[in-house]
Amino acid sequence: MRSKHEIPRVAILGGSNSGKSTLARTLVGYAVRSGGEAVLVNLDVTKNDLGVPGSISASAFESTIDLLGEAGEISLSPPNPLIYFTGCDTIIGNVSRLKDQVGCLSAVVEKKLNSNQINKTSSGVIVDTFAYSSTDASYKVLLACVETLAVNIVVVIGEDRLYAQLKKDMSTKQTKIIKIGRSGGVVERDLNTRKRLASDRFRWYFEGPRLQLSPVRRIVQIGEEIQIFLIKAKTISDASIRPIGMDTTLEDSYVPRATTADQIFLNCIFAMMNCKDETDIMQSNVIGFVHVVEVDSEAGTLTLLVPCPGPLPSKYFLHGSLKWFEIQ
Protein backbone atom coordinates (compact mmCIF):
# COMPACT_ATOMS: atom_id res chain seq x y z
CA MET A 1 0.00 0.00 0.00
CA ARG A 2 1.26 3.46 -0.84
CA SER A 3 1.90 5.89 1.95
CA LYS A 4 -0.02 9.13 2.22
CA HIS A 5 2.64 11.14 0.43
CA GLU A 6 3.10 8.60 -2.37
CA ILE A 7 -0.49 8.91 -3.53
CA PRO A 8 -0.59 11.81 -6.00
CA ARG A 9 -2.33 14.80 -4.43
CA VAL A 10 -2.31 17.66 -6.88
CA ALA A 11 -3.50 21.17 -5.96
CA ILE A 12 -4.07 23.65 -8.77
CA LEU A 13 -3.52 27.28 -7.79
CA GLY A 14 -3.95 30.45 -9.78
CA GLY A 15 -5.81 33.70 -10.13
CA SER A 16 -9.32 34.30 -11.37
CA ASN A 17 -9.99 33.15 -14.97
CA SER A 18 -6.73 31.19 -15.13
CA GLY A 19 -8.17 27.80 -16.18
CA LYS A 20 -7.88 25.96 -12.84
CA SER A 21 -11.18 24.08 -13.17
CA THR A 22 -10.52 23.03 -16.76
CA LEU A 23 -7.10 21.67 -15.85
CA ALA A 24 -8.57 19.82 -12.86
CA ARG A 25 -11.16 18.10 -15.06
CA THR A 26 -8.51 17.22 -17.61
CA LEU A 27 -6.37 15.55 -14.94
CA VAL A 28 -9.40 13.65 -13.65
CA GLY A 29 -10.03 12.43 -17.20
CA TYR A 30 -6.45 11.20 -17.54
CA ALA A 31 -6.67 9.40 -14.21
CA VAL A 32 -9.82 7.43 -14.98
CA ARG A 33 -8.66 6.58 -18.49
CA SER A 34 -5.56 4.98 -16.96
CA GLY A 35 -7.81 2.62 -15.00
CA GLY A 36 -7.79 4.46 -11.68
CA GLU A 37 -10.22 6.50 -9.65
CA ALA A 38 -9.69 10.20 -9.09
CA VAL A 39 -11.07 12.18 -6.17
CA LEU A 40 -11.88 15.71 -7.29
CA VAL A 41 -11.93 18.28 -4.47
CA ASN A 42 -13.41 21.72 -5.10
CA LEU A 43 -12.61 24.51 -2.62
CA ASP A 44 -14.12 27.36 -4.64
CA VAL A 45 -16.96 28.72 -2.49
CA THR A 46 -17.87 31.39 -5.06
CA LYS A 47 -19.12 28.88 -7.67
CA ASN A 48 -18.68 25.31 -6.56
CA ASP A 49 -19.06 22.96 -9.52
CA LEU A 50 -19.60 19.89 -7.33
CA GLY A 51 -22.06 21.55 -4.95
CA VAL A 52 -23.47 25.06 -4.73
CA PRO A 53 -21.91 28.43 -3.85
CA GLY A 54 -20.99 28.63 -0.18
CA SER A 55 -19.79 25.04 0.00
CA ILE A 56 -16.69 22.92 -0.51
CA SER A 57 -16.97 19.42 -1.89
CA ALA A 58 -15.36 16.24 -3.10
CA SER A 59 -16.42 13.41 -5.37
CA ALA A 60 -14.76 10.22 -6.61
CA PHE A 61 -14.82 9.57 -10.37
CA GLU A 62 -14.43 6.11 -11.84
CA SER A 63 -15.42 6.95 -15.43
CA THR A 64 -14.93 9.82 -17.82
CA ILE A 65 -16.94 12.98 -17.25
CA ASP A 66 -18.87 15.22 -19.63
CA LEU A 67 -17.22 18.62 -19.45
CA LEU A 68 -19.90 20.52 -21.37
CA GLY A 69 -23.40 21.28 -20.21
CA GLU A 70 -26.48 21.73 -22.34
CA ALA A 71 -25.57 25.34 -23.19
CA GLY A 72 -21.94 24.51 -23.90
CA GLU A 73 -20.61 25.80 -20.59
CA ILE A 74 -18.24 23.91 -18.33
CA SER A 75 -20.46 21.81 -16.09
CA LEU A 76 -20.43 18.75 -13.87
CA SER A 77 -22.97 16.29 -12.52
CA PRO A 78 -20.87 14.46 -9.92
CA PRO A 79 -21.82 11.06 -8.50
CA ASN A 80 -22.64 11.24 -4.76
CA PRO A 81 -20.68 14.39 -3.91
CA LEU A 82 -19.50 14.97 -0.35
CA ILE A 83 -20.42 18.55 0.57
CA TYR A 84 -19.59 20.75 3.55
CA PHE A 85 -21.27 24.10 4.10
CA THR A 86 -19.17 27.19 4.84
CA GLY A 87 -22.15 29.54 4.81
CA CYS A 88 -20.58 32.33 2.73
CA ASP A 89 -19.45 32.76 -0.87
CA THR A 90 -16.11 34.43 -0.13
CA ILE A 91 -13.05 32.81 1.42
CA ILE A 92 -12.54 35.65 3.89
CA GLY A 93 -16.19 35.73 4.95
CA ASN A 94 -15.50 33.14 7.66
CA VAL A 95 -11.92 31.88 7.51
CA SER A 96 -12.14 29.75 10.65
CA ARG A 97 -15.25 27.99 9.38
CA LEU A 98 -13.63 27.31 6.00
CA LYS A 99 -10.52 25.82 7.61
CA ASP A 100 -12.63 23.63 9.91
CA GLN A 101 -14.63 22.29 6.97
CA VAL A 102 -11.51 21.60 4.90
CA GLY A 103 -10.27 19.56 7.85
CA CYS A 104 -13.51 17.55 7.98
CA LEU A 105 -13.44 16.96 4.22
CA SER A 106 -9.77 15.95 4.32
CA ALA A 107 -10.48 13.31 6.96
CA VAL A 108 -13.15 11.68 4.79
CA VAL A 109 -10.96 11.79 1.68
CA GLU A 110 -8.12 10.22 3.64
CA LYS A 111 -10.41 7.41 4.77
CA LYS A 112 -11.47 6.84 1.17
CA LEU A 113 -7.86 6.66 -0.04
CA ASN A 114 -6.90 4.23 2.71
CA SER A 115 -9.79 1.90 1.94
CA ASN A 116 -9.49 -1.18 -0.24
CA GLN A 117 -12.16 0.03 -2.66
CA ILE A 118 -9.89 1.92 -5.04
CA ASN A 119 -6.85 1.12 -7.15
CA LYS A 120 -4.09 2.96 -5.31
CA THR A 121 -1.54 2.44 -8.07
CA SER A 122 -3.33 4.81 -10.45
CA SER A 123 -5.56 6.94 -8.27
CA GLY A 124 -5.13 10.23 -6.51
CA VAL A 125 -6.61 13.55 -5.50
CA ILE A 126 -7.06 16.63 -7.68
CA VAL A 127 -7.75 19.84 -5.72
CA ASP A 128 -9.39 22.73 -7.57
CA THR A 129 -8.80 25.77 -5.37
CA PHE A 130 -10.39 29.20 -5.13
CA ALA A 131 -8.94 32.16 -7.01
CA TYR A 132 -5.71 33.50 -5.57
CA SER A 133 -5.38 37.20 -4.85
CA SER A 134 -2.35 39.14 -3.65
CA THR A 135 -3.81 39.67 -0.17
CA ASP A 136 -2.15 37.97 2.79
CA ALA A 137 -5.46 36.42 3.87
CA SER A 138 -5.95 34.67 0.53
CA TYR A 139 -2.43 33.25 0.54
CA LYS A 140 -2.58 32.07 4.16
CA VAL A 141 -5.87 30.25 3.57
CA LEU A 142 -4.49 28.62 0.41
CA LEU A 143 -1.37 27.48 2.27
CA ALA A 144 -3.44 26.08 5.12
CA CYS A 145 -5.68 24.13 2.70
CA VAL A 146 -2.66 22.68 0.87
CA GLU A 147 -1.18 21.48 4.15
CA THR A 148 -4.46 20.10 5.51
CA LEU A 149 -5.09 18.06 2.36
CA ALA A 150 -1.49 16.72 2.44
CA VAL A 151 -0.84 17.94 -1.10
CA ASN A 152 2.46 16.74 -2.54
CA ILE A 153 2.28 18.41 -5.97
CA VAL A 154 1.33 22.06 -6.42
CA VAL A 155 0.62 23.42 -9.90
CA VAL A 156 0.70 27.22 -10.14
CA ILE A 157 -0.90 28.77 -13.22
CA GLY A 158 0.71 32.02 -14.33
CA GLU A 159 1.29 33.61 -10.92
CA ASP A 160 4.98 34.48 -10.47
CA ARG A 161 4.52 36.01 -7.02
CA LEU A 162 2.55 33.03 -5.73
CA TYR A 163 5.09 30.59 -7.17
CA ALA A 164 8.01 32.40 -5.54
CA GLN A 165 6.26 32.64 -2.20
CA LEU A 166 5.38 28.94 -2.18
CA LYS A 167 8.95 27.97 -3.07
CA LYS A 168 10.14 29.99 -0.10
CA ASP A 169 7.55 28.89 2.48
CA MET A 170 7.51 25.22 1.47
CA SER A 171 11.25 24.77 0.97
CA THR A 172 11.49 22.36 3.91
CA LYS A 173 8.57 20.21 2.79
CA GLN A 174 8.61 17.35 0.32
CA THR A 175 6.21 19.10 -2.01
CA LYS A 176 6.89 19.53 -5.71
CA ILE A 177 5.92 22.98 -6.99
CA ILE A 178 5.41 23.41 -10.74
CA LYS A 179 4.66 26.62 -12.61
CA ILE A 180 2.86 26.56 -15.95
CA GLY A 181 1.72 29.32 -18.25
CA ARG A 182 -1.84 30.57 -18.43
CA SER A 183 -3.71 29.08 -21.38
CA GLY A 184 -4.52 31.48 -24.17
CA GLY A 185 -7.95 29.94 -24.58
CA VAL A 186 -9.20 30.89 -21.12
CA VAL A 187 -12.35 33.01 -21.25
CA GLU A 188 -12.30 36.23 -19.22
CA ARG A 189 -15.31 36.59 -16.93
CA ASP A 190 -16.21 39.85 -15.27
CA LEU A 191 -17.88 40.15 -11.86
CA ASN A 192 -21.43 40.20 -13.27
CA THR A 193 -20.78 37.05 -15.29
CA ARG A 194 -19.43 35.24 -12.23
CA LYS A 195 -22.49 36.28 -10.23
CA ARG A 196 -24.76 34.97 -12.97
CA LEU A 197 -22.90 31.65 -13.05
CA ALA A 198 -23.24 31.35 -9.27
CA SER A 199 -26.99 31.98 -9.56
CA ASP A 200 -27.19 29.40 -12.35
CA ARG A 201 -25.57 26.89 -10.01
CA PHE A 202 -28.44 27.27 -7.56
CA ARG A 203 -30.91 26.79 -10.42
CA TRP A 204 -28.94 23.72 -11.50
CA TYR A 205 -29.32 22.27 -8.01
CA PHE A 206 -33.08 22.76 -7.71
CA GLU A 207 -34.11 22.22 -11.35
CA GLY A 208 -31.39 19.89 -12.63
CA PRO A 209 -28.58 20.39 -15.18
CA ARG A 210 -31.11 20.26 -18.02
CA LEU A 211 -34.05 21.71 -16.06
CA GLN A 212 -35.62 18.25 -15.87
CA LEU A 213 -36.44 18.38 -12.14
CA SER A 214 -39.63 19.71 -10.57
CA PRO A 215 -38.92 21.27 -7.16
CA VAL A 216 -41.83 21.54 -4.74
CA ARG A 217 -42.82 23.95 -1.99
CA ARG A 218 -43.31 22.87 1.59
CA ILE A 219 -44.50 24.85 4.62
CA VAL A 220 -42.66 24.01 7.85
CA GLN A 221 -42.93 25.20 11.44
CA ILE A 222 -39.76 26.49 13.06
CA GLY A 223 -38.92 24.56 16.21
CA GLU A 224 -41.29 21.68 15.52
CA GLU A 225 -40.44 20.46 12.05
CA ILE A 226 -37.08 22.13 11.54
CA GLN A 227 -34.39 23.67 13.71
CA ILE A 228 -32.27 26.44 12.22
CA PHE A 229 -28.76 27.11 13.50
CA LEU A 230 -26.72 30.16 12.58
CA ILE A 231 -23.14 30.01 11.37
CA LYS A 232 -21.08 32.72 13.02
CA ALA A 233 -17.51 33.86 12.53
CA LYS A 234 -15.03 33.55 15.38
CA THR A 235 -14.14 37.21 15.75
CA ILE A 236 -11.84 36.75 18.75
CA SER A 237 -9.76 33.64 18.18
CA ASP A 238 -6.17 34.74 18.77
CA ALA A 239 -5.15 34.43 22.42
CA SER A 240 -2.83 37.41 22.07
CA ILE A 241 -5.70 39.84 21.44
CA ARG A 242 -8.26 38.46 23.90
CA PRO A 243 -9.10 40.40 27.05
CA ILE A 244 -7.20 39.03 30.06
CA GLY A 245 -9.06 36.11 31.60
CA MET A 246 -11.45 35.65 28.68
CA ASP A 247 -12.30 32.01 27.96
CA THR A 248 -13.63 31.41 24.45
CA THR A 249 -14.32 27.69 24.84
CA LEU A 250 -18.04 28.21 25.33
CA GLU A 251 -18.26 30.93 22.69
CA ASP A 252 -16.47 28.87 20.03
CA SER A 253 -18.62 25.78 20.61
CA TYR A 254 -21.92 27.56 21.02
CA VAL A 255 -24.16 27.56 17.93
CA PRO A 256 -27.04 30.08 18.04
CA ARG A 257 -30.46 28.70 17.14
CA ALA A 258 -33.29 30.66 15.55
CA THR A 259 -36.55 30.55 17.52
CA THR A 260 -38.73 32.78 15.31
CA ALA A 261 -39.52 33.09 11.62
CA ASP A 262 -37.62 36.26 10.90
CA GLN A 263 -38.03 38.11 7.59
CA ILE A 264 -34.25 38.02 7.25
CA PHE A 265 -34.63 34.37 6.19
CA LEU A 266 -36.44 35.34 2.99
CA ASN A 267 -34.53 34.14 -0.12
CA CYS A 268 -31.91 32.42 2.06
CA ILE A 269 -30.28 29.10 1.24
CA PHE A 270 -30.29 26.61 4.14
CA ALA A 271 -28.10 23.52 4.29
CA MET A 272 -29.74 20.33 5.57
CA MET A 273 -27.22 18.59 7.82
CA ASN A 274 -26.41 14.90 8.15
CA CYS A 275 -26.49 14.65 11.94
CA LYS A 276 -28.58 12.99 14.64
CA ASP A 277 -28.54 15.91 17.07
CA GLU A 278 -27.29 19.48 17.31
CA THR A 279 -24.05 18.63 19.12
CA ASP A 280 -22.18 17.71 15.93
CA ILE A 281 -24.02 19.90 13.45
CA MET A 282 -20.99 22.08 12.70
CA GLN A 283 -18.82 19.08 11.77
CA SER A 284 -21.43 17.25 9.69
CA ASN A 285 -21.70 17.11 5.93
CA VAL A 286 -24.64 18.33 3.89
CA ILE A 287 -27.40 16.06 2.59
CA GLY A 288 -29.34 18.73 0.75
CA PHE A 289 -30.27 22.38 0.36
CA VAL A 290 -33.53 24.31 0.58
CA HIS A 291 -34.52 27.79 -0.53
CA VAL A 292 -36.76 30.02 1.61
CA VAL A 293 -39.38 31.55 -0.70
CA GLU A 294 -41.89 32.83 1.89
CA VAL A 295 -41.80 33.81 5.57
CA ASP A 296 -44.87 34.05 7.83
CA SER A 297 -43.63 35.69 11.02
CA GLU A 298 -47.00 35.55 12.78
CA ALA A 299 -47.51 31.84 12.19
CA GLY A 300 -43.82 31.05 12.68
CA THR A 301 -43.60 29.17 9.39
CA LEU A 302 -41.33 29.13 6.39
CA THR A 303 -42.20 28.07 2.85
CA LEU A 304 -39.27 26.10 1.49
CA LEU A 305 -38.41 25.18 -2.05
CA VAL A 306 -37.08 21.62 -1.94
CA PRO A 307 -35.68 19.57 -4.84
CA CYS A 308 -38.14 16.69 -4.50
CA PRO A 309 -41.36 15.72 -2.66
CA GLY A 310 -41.49 13.61 0.47
CA PRO A 311 -40.44 14.06 4.09
CA LEU A 312 -37.30 16.00 4.89
CA PRO A 313 -34.44 13.60 5.74
CA SER A 314 -33.23 15.85 8.57
CA LYS A 315 -34.65 18.57 10.79
CA TYR A 316 -31.30 20.28 11.40
CA PHE A 317 -30.46 23.20 9.13
CA LEU A 318 -27.58 25.66 8.91
CA HIS A 319 -28.07 29.27 7.85
CA GLY A 320 -25.17 31.37 6.62
CA SER A 321 -25.18 34.53 4.53
CA LEU A 322 -26.23 33.04 1.18
CA LYS A 323 -29.30 34.33 -0.64
CA TRP A 324 -30.74 33.44 -4.03
CA PHE A 325 -32.97 36.08 -5.58
CA GLU A 326 -34.28 33.92 -8.40
CA ILE A 327 -38.01 34.20 -9.14
CA GLN A 328 -39.61 30.79 -8.84
For residue 137, the domain's CATH number is 3.40.50.300
pLDDT tens, position by position, 225-253: 999 999 876 544 444 434 444 444 434 45
Instruction: Name beta bridge partners: 68.
Output: 74
Q: What is the pLDDT of residue 12?
A: 96
Give the residue ranges of DSSP H helices in 19-135: 20-33, 95-114
Same domain, residue pair 47 and 170: yes
Same domain, residue pair 64 and 203: yes
Q: Does residue 143 belong to any structural domain of this protein?
A: yes
Total domains in the chain come to: 2
Q: For the residues of 283-315, what is the DSSP string, one character each?
A: GPPEEEEEEEEEEETTTTEEEEEESSSS--S-S
Confidence of residue 122 (pLDDT cuts 50, 70, 90): low
Same domain, residue pair 125 and 21: yes
Same domain, residue pair 13 and 70: yes
Same domain, residue pair 252 and 125: no
Same domain, residue pair 35 and 79: yes
**Contact assessment for residue 28 and residue 126, using Cβ atoms and an 8 Å cutoff:** yes
Average pLDDT over residues 161-169: 93
* pLDDT averaged over every residue in the chain: 83
Q: Give 252 or 211, the one with higher predicted confidence.
A: 211
Q: Does residue 1 belong to any structural domain of this protein?
A: no
Average pLDDT over residues 98-119: 84
Q: Does residue 2 belong to any structural domain of this protein?
A: no
- Asked if residue 26 has pLDDT above 60, the reply is yes
Q: Give 118 or 262, the one with higher predicted confidence.
A: 262
Same domain, residue pair 83 and 197: yes
Could you tell me the residue range of the domain that residue 310 belongs to? 216-323
End of a domain among 159, 178, 207? 207
End of a domain among 190, 207, 224? 207
Same domain, residue pair 300 and 177: no
Q: What is the pLDDT of residue 237?
A: 42
Q: What is the pLDDT of residue 78?
A: 65
Among residues of the chain, what percentage have pLDDT more than 70? 83
Same domain, residue pair 198 and 54: yes
With H, G, I as helix, E, B as strand and everything else as coil, classify residue 192: helix
Average pLDDT over residues 125-135: 89
Same domain, residue pair 185 and 203: yes
Q: Does residue 80 belong to any structural domain of this protein?
A: yes
- Asked if residue 134 has pLDDT above 70, the reply is yes
38 closest CA partner among 24, 22, 48? 24
Same domain, residue pair 109 and 173: yes
For residue 316, the domain's CATH number is 2.40.30.330
Q: How far apart are CA 272 and CA 226, in angstroms?
A: 10
End of a domain among 207, 234, 254? 207
271 closest CA partner among 77, 79, 57, 70? 57
- Asked if residue 56 has pLDDT above 60, the reply is yes
